[in-house]
Structure 1
Amino acid sequence: MDAILRSAGWLSPEGLRRTPLAIRAGRVDDAAPARAYALDLQGHVLLPGLINAHEHLHVNAVPRLRQGRVFANAYQWIEAFQAHFADPAVAAALAVPKALRLRHGGLKNLLAGATCAAHHDPWDRALDAADFPIALLRGHGWAYAPGWPQYGPSLRESFLATPPQRPWLIHLGEGTDAVARAELGQLDALGCLAANTVLIHGVGLGEDDQSRVIARGAAVVWCPSSNLALLGRTLDPRRLHAAGRLALGSDSRLSGARDLLDELRLAASIGGLDASDVFDLASARAADVLRLDRGRLRPGAAADLIVVADRGGAPADSLVGLRRADLRAVVRGGVPSIADPDFAPWFRAAGVATVRVELDGRPKLLAKALADPQLLALEPGLSLCEPVAPARAAAGAQA
């Protein structure tokens, strides 16, 4: 459905534009379509959908470790988690079919305005579903971590198999001890520190390490909530941010924030960065780090966007600090996926059937394609307000 959105402004690469935002065939257009649905959004700001640069989509309903222990590195946390698999609540969460758990991770992101994510685990055919809730990083390479080679592809083999124009992701320096501090040198010695290398966490990176990362054109994904929960510390993001070599990720709920909006709020409060800076880490800068044609509203870009009430100041000031129920609408491909009830005419004009839901105590309309009761049952704070038939059960319960 073509549309013209007249708002207080929309955030383009050139800054806040006061002209209407035109959408044609699911993409931002530089000219108003001849026939289009016109929507008056005065008093609102339109922002590009967020990009979650680090996520494990399939484990967001798995309970965390019960003890609130601080670890010297992530490998100690992984070892502690092995006994946690015997917890009946963990076993029950992992008994849910993996396809449904992956879809839940997508929905979790969508509800918070993250319309694209980087999934740091083996690819699953369920991620290729045409109606998957969000877009995903594709064509990239990855390894899990230097100190945990038993999971995922071989580190050096996966790096060499990744085209240099595509990102290669690896957990690295996720700790505060000598093990974490040594990992960048080990990676470099293997020949795996290059311009397409994306290091997840990087808490153990010292000043010289950050200099080496910047000099090689590599980048780091900052996940402060997860770092503070597991390690009691996170990195100082300012130097990597200034160099354009930093993005933001939420990690999964096993250790990280509830969602990327919560991560934005924390990042703005502890990192010495303002709202515009941290929004950039989850939009344009994340797109640059992950080599995605996303994160900016410009002609030809996918019309994935967030509608928020204009709170004044810079555009990011209207988003950073909000919680997911505060978002007026989350839009994918030019049509709303979830929105406040007064957006019902937009759903109808787009031919999108909806169901009434409640999100954190607020009434919302959700695209019916996303309203499988089995899916919604996995997400705390989200509930149906009307009967909906369950979708066909996904086959295969995989861990």
Structure 2
Amino acid sequence: MDALPARAHTNLRHAATVTPVGATRTSVSIGAGRIESTPTPGAYRVDLRDHLIFPGLINAHDHLHVNAVPALHAEAPFPNSYAWISAFQAHFQDAQVMAALQLPKALRLRHGALKNLLAGITCVAHHDPWHPVLDAEDFPVALLRDYGWSYALGWPGYGPPPLESFAATPADQPWLIHLAEGTDAVACAELAQLDQLGCLASNSVLIHGVGLSSRDIERVIAQAAAVVWCPSSNLNLLGRTLDPRRLCAAGRLALGSDSRLSGARDLLEELAGTLDRYELDPSQLLALVTTQAAHILRMPSRGHLQPGAAADLVVVEDLGGDPVRSLVGIERSRIRAVVRDGMPRIADPDFAEWFAAAGVDTVLVRLDGSPKLLARALAEPALLALEPGLECAAAAGSVEHELAAASGSYR
């Protein structure tokens, strides 16, 4: 099984790099899992003309271990998340839910991470207790590690108590809590409660914030706190989401997917759902999953492509026009390559030589019908079986035939 530390020096040539501030025609040099200022002599070269390179995306909120759990379908919106949690207790008796939760937690966590990686997300803020598998060398994505958290003000039985957790979190690390996840008086009162506890500060990261009033939002901005916006989850559970414009303009907003239990399939689908809505332009949306997310979560080596940054990248074809739209709004099967820690992890088959040069053994798979090469370390059968739209190509036909067809399609 290949391991991430086998880092090869690579020079990605003739592409344009894209960040929220624009596109620049340049080469990207990779060594020791980081972006370097100059290419290493003799580095393996990848010709990416007519392609765009984006920073690996950051999912600012996910519950990785529940992405294979069937969602609870309700006839009407819930007034708040506590009502949804209460209704879900009966859903635990559903045969499909029980079967999903009987799977090993380590496998479910890896599945949630793989779901993210397939959509170009290379770093995730996992809002739940830590598990040893999250420290595995071949875990599919990077994780937010230096932080504090509590679950919610109104759900004291799960996770660290808010006041105790906040006090134990260093001021230079983010502190995460679900807050104002609802539309009723209970949710709308939570920011004031948090403030009264003394837990609203510049490192406070509030998840959802649907019940925040305009005055509340100004209070959040004044304290230099931030909100993670999960619109699909909000609309599915509550029938409403917050107006993101003021927080976004102030640089105090990031985007999260909140897992498939309530939210979108992945962050890429979340971006597509917000495109041309909410009066946010594509560059602002890109910032929510790169530069702004990295700033809010205190991760200075992520969300950008400057020397010293983690070499986590997303490569797509240049579709012309606004370069950001070449990524924001596309389907995950159209991503050409996802690079994690300087190594290709999933890519189109015509990048086979890149995998070989990096020492990454691969398996041919199909992702939503499109052939891909996936790092063998991420292709255990039990893991593939959990992800809809992902299957081992060899199980349904000749590998040689699949590779030949795929190679021809990208000439």
| Shorter-normalised TM range | over 0.9
In the superposition, the TM-score normalised over structure 1's length comes to 0.95
- DSSP-derived class of the 2:240 partner: coil
Alignment map for 1:318-329 (pairs within 5 Å): 318-329=326-337
Kept in 2, the 8 Å contact 1:65–1:84? The answer is yes
1:156-235 equivalences under 5 Å are 156-235=163-242
> What root-mean-square deviation, in Å, do the aligned CA atoms of Structure 1 and Structure 2 show?
1.1
Where structure 2 has 5 or more consecutive residues not aligned to the other structure, the ranges are: 1-7, 396-411
| 2:322 paired with 1:314 | yes
Residues 57 and 51 of structure 1, relative CA distance in 2, 3 Å threshold:
same
Gaps of 5+ in 1: 388-399
Take 1:299 and 1:166, find their aligned partners in 2: how far apart are those partners?
A: 23
1:347 aligned partner: 355
TM-aligned CA deviation for residue 151 of structure 1: 0.8
Alignment of 1:385 onto 2:393: yes
Partner of 1:394: none
Give 1:79's aligned residue: 86
Letter in 2 for 1:307: V
- SS at 2:26's partner residue? coil
Which of 30, 33, 37 aligns to 1:30? It is 37
Greater shift, 64-73 or 281-290, is seen at: 64-73
User: What pairs with 1:271-310 in structure 2 (closer than 5 Å)?
Assistant: 271-293=278-300, 294-310=302-318
Asked whether the 8 Å contact 2:122–2:340 carries over to 1, the reply is yes
* Cα 1:141/1:37, change in 2 over 3 Å: same
Shift of 1:126: 1.0
Q: Deviations over 1:6-58 (max 9, x none)?
A: 13311258642212111112211111111101111100000000000000000
CA contact under 8 A between 2:20 and 2:287: conserved in structure 1? Answer: no
1:188-235 per-position Cα deviation (integer Å, ceiling 9, x unaligned):
000000000000000000011001000000000000000000011101
Confirm or deny: 8 A CA contact 2:55 2:313 kept in the other structure. Answer: yes
CA distance in 1 between partners of 2:21 and 2:31 (Å): 21
Report how many residues are paired: 387
The ranges of structure 1 where at least 4 consecutive aligned residues each deviate by more than 4 angstroms after the TM superposition are: none
Identify which of 344, 354, 359 aligns with 2:367: 359
> Which residue is equivalent to 1:124?
131
Matches for 1:327-338 after TM superposition, within 5 Å: 327-338=335-346
Query: 1:298-338 CA deviation, whole Å, 9 max, x = no partner?
Result: 10111100000011233311101111101000001222100
Q: Which amino acid aligns with 2:195?
A: D
Q: Which amino acid aligns with 2:271?
A: L
Percent identity over paired residues: 65
Match of residue 247 from structure 1:
254
In the superposition, the TM-score normalised over structure 2's length comes to 0.93
